[in-house]
Amino acid sequence: MDNNQGINEHSKEKQLADFRVDHSGEILTTNQGVRVSHTDDSLKAGSRGPTLMEDFHFREKMMHFDHERIPERAVHARGFGAHGYFQVYEPMTEYTKAEFLQDPNVKTPVFVRFSTVVGSRGSADTVRDVRGFATKFYTGDGNYDLVANNIPVFFIQDAIKFPDVIHAIKPEPHNEIPQASSAHDTFWDFVVSTPETAHMVMWLMSDRAIPRSFRMMEGFGVNTFRFVNDQGKARFVKFHWKPKLGVHSLVWDEAQKIAGKSPDFHRRDLWDAIEMGDYPEYELGVQMLEEESEFKFDFDILDATKIWPEEQVPVKIIGKMVLNRNVDNFFAETEQVAFHPGHVVSGIDFSNDPLLQGRLFSYLDTQLIRLGGSNFHEIPINRPLAPVHNNQRDGYHRMAIDRGVVAYSPNQIQKNTPQPAPDTEHGYLHYAEKVDGRKIRERSESFKDFYRQAALFWNSMSLTEKQHIVDAFIFEVGNVLDKLIKQRVVDMFNNVDSGLAKQIAIGVGANPPAQPGQTAVTASSPAVSQEKTLKSPQMRMLI
């Protein structure tokens, strides 16, 4: 059975249409539909008397206003979204049984949310930061969320340290300063105390952290997943979004000025492009590895602080995404959309990447507090196009009106339905990976190389890109007050490149390293250099 039959690029728009309301020209009512005759004065005991508790219109109006703001995301609070569609170029049957990756004629509806990580909802768009690039595919087999960033690696290797890195990079708790910036003591104290951050910090100090536009920004799944085909054969996979306009950034001085003049720069750019019909396009690529190749590299493929260099593991382009429709209401769609890397469909599975394993718990837990309970999947923007049938009931904000007396399994009253899907009906089967080991809090020795890929990144940069990285280090570390932390930054990044460390030391008033670090990496990966990424013909004319 092909569950994608009847699913097309307009399906989500049609579903959302049932929830849209145009209030123009209508009579004012309460939320219960009672017509309101007066809304400028509360009900009082006399014109100068106390307000009466029985004024249900006043109480409803104030109650709703008091609760209009839901908790903002702890990270990725400032975001902007758009609707579109995804279309695979050719059947991927050899690699995965994921139904939305089979038929080139099917346009799967998507919703994409771009975001910054550190700042609050009110921060500026052009700060130096990682950008989120989260895509929800409304497939015929259910929703699939590809929760990506614009940088292919992350700060930490194990999710247990995620609260630490975020607490360190957020504004310092005693004075709530600085907003949306990593240029302060607690972040760099964490960096020098956690050498696994070295590679990510190199990317963060590069031009990648100040993109020119959401339309000109790569996306990376960061974690290692699996493709599984109909025969049960699995391959390790990493996901890439490649913008058709090429990859472009602001320079730091430009970003600073824009933040002052137009803090909504990226939002407005995306909105205006779609409104004008200049639809952003991205190609989806995958890096795939046979399971037997898991240990053939000088890095661990499950380590989220490492890339799979594209020169060693080429990116196969498999499809295209087009963003062609802006949201009707920012709060209802962009703010209430809920992503989770555990939202997968048959044919996509997980690896033992310890950062991914923690994310599978964290994201779901987050939605429960942020969106008010277990029924966040019933909010229109999160509602799948695939039918939903199970025995889950009740809870905050339940929208479904479940009929019948059965809410358990097995049962006889309802002929044991809803029942598990047979193999022929796209039932999700977890990959049968053999797992055997002692319970232990320990990191694999293969994860303990912290500097070689950071050096690889530095070697891959052009002279201009290197100078921008040096300038970023000097600005960021120059804002650190603790002289010992400044010195430790110099000493740490001496393990990446002694020339880089010397320039940082001169710029921040620390002691240059007495001798070079021991990494001594000479290899490079041209694919990570922004200057070497593919430029579209339109953009070549502008740069």
Strands (DSSP E) found in 140-272? 142-149, 219-220, 225-228, 234-243
Active-site residue flag, 397: no
Which token pair is 106?
Answer: 């099917």
pLDDT at 19: 86
pLDDT at 1: 45
Q: Which of 140-144, 331-335, 478-482 has the least mean pLDDT? A: 140-144
Q: Does residue 253 share a domain with residue 153? A: yes
**CA dist., res. 254 & res. 257, Å (int):** 5
Active-site residue identified among 76, 199, 266, 340 = 76
- Give domain status of residue 266, yes or no: yes
Per-residue DSSP letters for 202-229?
Answer: HHHTSGGGSBS-GGG--EE--S-EEEE-
Under the banding of pLDDT at 50, 70 and 90, the label for residue 542 is very low
Under the banding of pLDDT at 50, 70 and 90, the label for residue 61 is confident
Domain count for the chain, please give it. Answer: 2
Q: Does residue 487 share a domain with residue 347? A: no
Q: Does residue 503 share a domain with residue 371? A: no
Average pLDDT over residues 255-265: 97
Strands (DSSP E) found in 38-197? 79-88, 108-116, 131-139, 142-149
- Give domain status of residue 25, yes or no: no
Q: H/E/C letters for each residue in 223-240?
A: CCEEEECCCCCEEEEEEE
Q: Does residue 240 share a domain with residue 126? A: yes
227 within 8 A of 288, measured Cβ to Cβ = yes
pLDDT at 42: 85
Q: Does residue 460 share a domain with residue 372? A: no
**Is the pLDDT higher at 119 or at 436?**
119
Q: In which domain, by residue range, is 502 found?
A: 448-537
Strands (DSSP E) found in 347-416? 348-350
- Write down which residue in 349, 382, 415 finishes a domain: 382
- Give domain status of residue 131, yes or no: yes
The domain spanning residue 495 has which CATH number?
A: 1.20.1370.20
pLDDT at 468: 98
- Give domain status of residue 319, yes or no: yes
Q: Does residue 375 share a domain with residue 454? A: no
157 within 8 A of 447, measured Cβ to Cβ = yes
Q: What is the per-residue pLDDT across 289-316, written as a single tens digit (0 to 9) for each? A: 999 999 999 999 999 999 999 999 999 9
Under the banding of pLDDT at 50, 70 and 90, the label for residue 460 is very high
Look up residue 57 and give its amino acid.
H
Q: Which of 98-112, 197-211, 420-434, 444-458 has the least mean pLDDT? A: 420-434
- Write down which residue in 338, 360, 382 finishes a domain: 382
Q: Does residue 364 share a domain with residue 487? A: no
pLDDT at 91: 98
- Give domain status of residue 493, yes or no: yes
Per-residue DSSP letters for 402-461?
Answer: --SS--SSS-TTTTT-S-PPPGGGT------------------GGG---SHHHHHHHHHS
- Give domain status of residue 176, yes or no: yes
The domain spanning residue 313 has which CATH number?
A: 2.40.180.10
Q: Does residue 288 share a domain with residue 185? A: yes
Q: Does residue 368 share a domain with residue 225? A: yes
Active-site residue identified among 143, 149, 223, 494 = 149
Q: Does residue 239 share a domain with residue 102? A: yes
pLDDT at 543: 45
Active-site residue flag, 64: no
pLDDT at 424: 66
pLDDT at 48: 83
- Write down which residue in 382, 409, 430 finishes a domain: 382
Q: Does residue 272 share a domain with residue 155? A: yes
pLDDT at 541: 45
CA 431 vs CA 227, 264, 425: distances in Å: 9, 43, 17
Kindly report the average pLDDT of the chain as a whole number. 92
Look up residue 320 and give its amino acid.
K
pLDDT at 173: 95
- Give domain status of residue 173, yes or no: yes
User: Among candidates 222, 235, 233, 234, which has minimal Cα distance to 146?
Assistant: 222
Average pLDDT over residues 207-236: 97
Average pLDDT over residues 427-434: 87
- Give domain status of residue 28, yes or no: no
User: Among candidates 304, 329, 254, 315, which has minimal Cα distance to 282?
Assistant: 315
